[in-house]
Amino acid sequence: MIRTFKEFLKKPRIVAEVGQSHGGSITKVFKIIDKLSEIGVDVVKFQTHLAYFESTIEENFRQGFNFKHKSRIDYWRDHEFDKKQWIKISNYCRKKNILFATSPFSIEAYEMLKNLKPLFWKIGSGEFFSEDLINKIVSDRQNIVISTGLSKWSEINKKISFFKRKKINFVILQCTTKYPSLEKDIGINIIDELLKKKCFAGLSDHSGSIYPSLLALAKNVSLIEVHVIDNKKKNQPDASSSLDYDQIRLLLNARDKFFIMNSLKVNKDNVAKKLFKSKILFTKSASLKEKKPKGYIIKKKDIIFKKPGSGYGYRDYGKIVGKRLRNNLKENILIKKKHLV
């Protein structure tokens, strides 16, 4: 089990955001953890909502989704877990050898769970602006992963400077707070700019596709966060913005392949030496276009190059042209030194 943030960031990590796909059922949570552990996800991440400390009756639902609850605060209440349940969830993650993380949406939520000591705390795009919550986490010297889905560059730069000044370990994620996010809104160029700031950077993606994550992985980012759901056809929040288990598998496989390709440097000269036998197989050598008799003086127009590359090459005309044949030579035989006078 990974124990330090430094160790955690030695390779790109895939974080599976459960969101509200558990429907408030701890039994469903355990089933999700089972599946994500089986697949090999690095981190299973939850959201810790305490409705009383987070919401009011004036909070609106996202448009385009028909909730059974009368208000958003009722919805959050229906998806809350108490401290004992969160301890069970955290312990179950440990049992399944998968890291537990969560996004607290209030100081009270953070205080309730901080003794669980997750490797990092995820700050969502909305909580990016919750200075009291962030200041509390920073004062406790906790590791932070933070999304920027609603932030301007001036706000992002200020946050990066703050974390660096406080000497806090952090990963900053490009994010677009749209559900789902379209390809034109992903903002891979933002990742390029974040990486220039000499900090760990990544992507929090809501596209429902693996393609943005693949492109981010090709840039050797530190972390990818994606929402996960067991069935994308379900009438649930974020269903269209989430990856199903098969997509997660593909993403993890790609992550491992990309990591190898990004990490291992290839020495072109050494590879060429090792492939010398293949070079002979794939390249060509000088041959005659047609049969010529003993004593014939070879002209440049007589030569054609054919496989394999074990004879005279393209730079060896001077060793062939003007030479006399020692014996008759057929057209389907490579010209060799022994054939020439």
Q: What is the pLDDT of residues 218-256, one digit of tens each?
A: 999 999 999 999 888 777 777 889 999 999 999 999 999
User: Which has more confidence, 182 or 70?
Assistant: 182
What token pair was written down for 307? 């496989």
- Give the residues across from 45 on adjacent strands: 17, 101
Dist CA 59 CA 65 (whole Å): 15
Does pLDDT of 307 surpass 70? Answer: yes
pLDDT score of 64: 47
Does pLDDT of 72 surpass 90? Answer: no
pLDDT score of 21: 83
Lowest mean pLDDT among 19-23, 26-30, 327-331: 19-23
Q: What residues contact residue 209 under an 8 Å CB cut-off, 6+ apart?
A: 243, 247
pLDDT, tens digit, for every residue of 243-290?
Answer: 999 999 999 999 999 999 999 999 999 999 999 999 999 999 999 999
Dist CA 297 CA 127 (whole Å): 85
Dist CA 326 CA 318 (whole Å): 17
**Domains delineated in the chain:** 5-263 (3.20.20.70), 270-339 (3.90.1210.10)
pLDDT score of 212: 98
Q: What residues contact residue 19 under an 8 Å CB cut-off, 6+ apart?
A: 47, 227, 237, 238, 242
| Band of residue 138 on the pLDDT scale cut at 50, 70, 90 | very high
- Give the residues across from 47 on adjacent strands: 103
Rounded to an integer, the average pLDDT of 69-88 is: 80
Rounded to an integer, the average pLDDT of 40-48 is: 96
Sign of CA dihedral 106, 107, 110, 111: negative
Nearest to 327 by CA among 303, 292, 302: 292
Dist CA 187 CA 151 (whole Å): 13
| Helix or strand holding residue 30 (H, E) | helix 26-39
pLDDT score of 10: 93
pLDDT score of 62: 57
Give backbone dihedrals phi and psi of 326, rounded to 5 degrees, phi first: -75, -35
pLDDT score of 3: 76
Nearest to 228 by CA among 34, 50, 8: 34
> Exposure of 50 by Cβ count < 10 A (0-12 exposed, 13-18 middle, 19+ buried)?
buried
Dist CA 67 CA 328 (whole Å): 90
User: What is the pTM (predicted TM-score) of this model?
Assistant: 0.86
Dist CA 341 CA 327 (whole Å): 9
Q: Strand, coil or helix: what is 210?
A: coil
pLDDT score of 34: 97
pLDDT score of 223: 98
Does pLDDT of 330 surpass 90? Answer: yes
Dist CA 276 CA 82 (whole Å): 66
